[in-house]
A = this chain, B = another copy of it.
Amino acid sequence: MPHPLFDKHRALLDQAQAAITRRTHWSPYAENPRVYGETAMDEGQRAFEAYRDAQFYLDQPGVQGRGGEEVSPYGLALNLSYPCCNPDALIDVAKTAMPSWVRAGIEARTGVCLEILARLNAGSPEMAYALMHTTGQSLGLAFLTGGPQAQARGLEALAWAHREMTQIPEQAEWQRNVSQRLEKRFMVAPIGVSLIIGSATQPTWNAFPALFASLATGNPVIIKPHPTAILPLAIAVAVARLVLKEAGFDANLVTLLVGNPDGPLARDVALNQDIRLIDYAGAPDFGTWLLDAARQARLFVEIGGVNCVLVDSTYDYNALLKNLVLSLCLDSGQLRATPRVIFVSREGVQTPEGLISDGQFGMDLAYALGKFLEDPVRAVEVLGAIQSPATIARIRAACDMAEGVANILRYSSPLDHPKWPEAHVHSPLLIHATADQGRLFMEERFGPIAIVVSTANAAESLALAEATMREKGALNFLVHATRPHVQQLAEDVALREGVALSFNLTGTVLINQPAGFADFHASGANPAASCGMIDAAFVAKRFYFSQVQRHYLPPSSIDWVVDL
């Protein structure tokens, strides 16, 4: 069934499908804010300001009151409330909305999803401010990661979904012999109501793949944002509902679930028997609970882990240091892909200028970090602000834990933000530990905390990295090595533990900025995530092919059928 919105965006979808099979660089949505218009960022800011001190409007059913207590990590008062809806009411309307959405067919659903993405893209400046003042990301990073790159991830999931849905014809004539002749019809059918539990630090980047994969394959979606980052997903839900309505579909295919912040809302709704798909990216405690408790649903859970770095040898020592500093500072370590532990051997780092001892490496890294922080305007653009008081507490706890037993290479301290005096900005904490201090480094310390670990040699570095990633999970493994045998051993480790491996990154290619349409962000093969992102399984698990077959009527029956 053709659909005008599908035809409108078909060229983009074709490009996206080519991109997922080519895996070269491709940005479907402009990453430079100026492309959105000379005054686009100013207009975005005004649109954001309009949300403040106001009631966010959503015409959802089952409203029981209003809630939402977001506080900007930059100190800006938001004073913004959302309708709190009864989750059972949202599930009921979702189920009601589903059948006609399913029967509308692949092209209608895909077309509507593409239109939602186009509207979201147009709203990127407004979204950037919403993300900045909920997640603490710098405006530039919020725009890039939470805007065009998050939309690109949504498009990537949509391209996979469309590809997997269209592998089977809608109709087939099956004939074995004269009497065995059947007409078979196939239809993409959804698994059921899809719940997306939002992340506090990357709400759009994490939610969009799930949103578009679920919606395109016929599942209604309920988005439960993190209580500290509601606005970005509320905006996305409002856009989706508007487009659905305009296209003649039930807006309740996408709803926002905001609850009493004290209530056990996410846990309750996650166990509802009608919730059949759950996507979650966030802290390990809730993710592990989900994997254990939500047995009725298919789960897509990313909880992160301890991403490891191995520094063995390099072509360019200074470029290595600079790249590491940028990765450690990016969004103050509040990305699940941030490197957490850096293994360096007491045999030293081989560089073109000679061997650098492990101790010298730690000092050099701390020095490079200090140099980077010297320019506060540049620094806060990379660091952003700390989203949660728990992260600030985590810095302090890590420092207390290390003090006396390990060497603190660089203390964390509050930094002044040139523009936002109330912003929670803290420089990264850098600790130097020894190989036997697993209790220090074999733990994800989400935030601006990194630990250099001295080992006996490259083999011990590899073994410790492997043990850490196997036990705690990891998304990626960054290895600086020029020696072929170290590279080969690292590849073996990465394959065994299911982590994406990067060699010798320098410049602004950061390990914690996975590239849409090229990189797989998680493998599902270690505890960091229960699925790969984004791949065939990520979309194929959200639907099945429903099948109706009927015998072709024998000619003698036809008259009688008409009589009936």
Contacts and interface: CB of A to CB of B under 8 A. Distances in A.
Interface of A: 20-25, 99, 102, 163-164, 167-169, 172-176, 179-180, 182, 184, 186-187, 189, 191-192, 291-292, 295, 315-316, 350, 352, 482-483, 491-492, 494-496, 498, 500-509, 515, 518-520, 523-525, 532, 535-537, 540-541, 544-551, 553-554, 557, 560-561, 564
Contact of A176 (B21, B25, B492, B504): B25
A504 to B, nearest CB: 5
Contacts of A518: 172, 174, 184
A397 to B, nearest CB: 30
B548 A24 contact: no
A508 B505 CA distance: 64
Given A174-B24, A492-B99, A560 B169 contact: no
Most central of A316, A504, A537 by chain B CB within 10 Å: A537
Chain A contact surface mostly: mixed
A549 B495 contact: no
A525 B189 contact: yes
Given A23-B186, A315-B560, A174 B551 contact: no
Give 9 closest A-B pairs by Cβ, nearest first. Answer: A537-B540, A503-B550, A536-B540, A315-B557, A23-B172, A523-B544, A532-B544, A500-B547, A179-B507
A498 B546 contact: yes
Given A169-B22, A175-B25, A554-B315, A541 B537 contact: yes
Nearest to A508: B180
Contacts of A23: 168-169, 172, 174, 184, 186
A561 B482 contact: yes
A504 B20 CA distance: 43
A402 B167 CA distance: 47
A233 to B, nearest CB: 27
Contacts of A523: 189, 544-546
Given A518-B184, A536-B536, A551 B189 contact: no
Nearest to A532: B544
Contacts of A169: 21-23
A278 to B, nearest CB: 16
A525 B503 contact: no
A268 to B, nearest CB: 21
Nearest to A164: B536
Nearest to A505: B551
Contacts of A541: 537, 541
Contacts of A502: 548-550
A151 B546 CA distance: 24
